[in-house]
Amino acid sequence: MSTTENIYMPFASKILDVIRHTEKEYTFKMEFHGECKPGQFFEVSVPKFGEAPISISGIGPGFVDLTIRRVGTVTNEIFEHYKGQSLLMRGPYGNGFDTSLFVDGETVVIAGGTGVSPVRGVIQALADSSNPKDKYVIAGFKSPDDMLFRADLKEWDEKLNLILTVDGAPEGYEGRIGLVTAYIPDLPVRDAATAAAVVVGPPPMMRFSVKGLLERGFKEENIWVSQERKMCCGLGKCGHCRIGDQYVCIDGPVFNYSVSKNMLD
């Protein structure tokens, strides 16, 4: 009998906590002992319902945070699980963010909506760096009610240069209103040619954000993005996430823009 390990076999992970952000978005703190990086993902599964790729939104001793949006059959069922119960997971998969590339020197992070989740660890590393005032974060949400990680946003606002904006808000709202791209031209970056940037969010937002950064003088090779793509096997076998000769689940989802700009479906 072969003792070869089944690489598709998930493991049971205990739910350590469940944190509600919005009506549809919760963070599940999952028990996990192993190495992982921001930007990687796990496949989370529920028997009879299927599995879904979920980005890592936090890493700590003995746990990972998975921030999940309730949008379909699998995630609906995941939301029926509570603290003390377990979910099945496999991973981590993919190429994550190397935070060492961003903690020194000027760095800009632009994230929209749930795109804040995969870069949460990057932003925290910037906030905890020796020069947080050289770090700029533009975080955009659909509305004030759609904001994620409110405690983190407050901490980041105190430590680094946070621009928090919403697409729209009710009358009387005192915060910023507007798309994230509107704030790129006025970023007080001293040397855009050497500054690094991370952009994560819906494809149109990423496209126009990168355009704005390039117009400011940022270099393509200093910009990193995370591709939004439905990953299935996580191992580059099924071909579902293949774009040209790149497999998002193994070559990404984090790509340098000099590579991702040529990834056309």
Is the pLDDT score of 4 beyond 80?
no
For all residues of the chain together, what is the average pLDDT? 94
| Nearest Cα to Cα of residue 256 among 233, 228, 215, 223 | 223
Confidence of residue 265 (pLDDT cuts 50, 70, 90): low
Residue 180 in tokens: 């994230």
Q: In angstroms, rounded to a whole number, what is the distance separating the alpha carbons of residues 162 and 11?
A: 38
Give φ, ψ of 239 to 5 degrees.
80, 5
- Distance between first and last Cα of the chain: 43
In three-state secondary structure terms, 132 is: helix
Q: Which of 140, 138, 141, 143 is nearest to 169 (CA)?
A: 143
Give the Cα separation of 258 and 223 in Å (integer).
8
**What per-residue confidence (pLDDT) applies to 3?**
55
φ, ψ of residue 46 to 5 degrees: the values are -130, 120
Question: 3-state DSSP helix/strand/coil percent for the chain, to nearest 5?
Answer: 25, 35, 40
Q: Which of 74-78, 143-147, 186-190, 241-245 has the lowest mean pLDDT?
A: 241-245
**Per-range mean pLDDT, top range of 1-15, 79-93, 240-254:** 79-93
**How high is the pLDDT of residue 1?**
43
| Cα–Cα distance, 204 to 171 (Å, whole number) | 27
Query: How far is it, in rounded angstroms, from Cα 40 to Cα 227?
Result: 11
Please tell me the distance from the alpha carbon of residue 163 to that of residue 113, in angstroms, as a whole number.
14
Is the per-residue pLDDT at 137 higher than 60? Answer: yes
CA–CA separation, 41 and 36 (whole Å): 9
Angle 112-91-114 (CA atoms, 0-180°, nearest 5)?
A: 10
pLDDT band, residue 5 (cuts 50/70/90): confident
Q: Mean of the pLDDT values across residues 157-161? A: 96
Neighbours of 122 (CB within 10 A): 28
Question: Which amino acid is located at 242 in the chain?
Answer: R
pLDDT tops 80 at residue 78:
yes
194-202 mean pLDDT: 96
pLDDT value of position 227 = 86
Tens digits of per-residue pLDDT, 83-123? 999 999 999 999 999 999 999 999 999 999 999 999 999 99
Q: What is the pLDDT of residues 202-218, one digit of tens each?
A: 999 999 999 999 999 99
**Residue type for 229, please?**
R
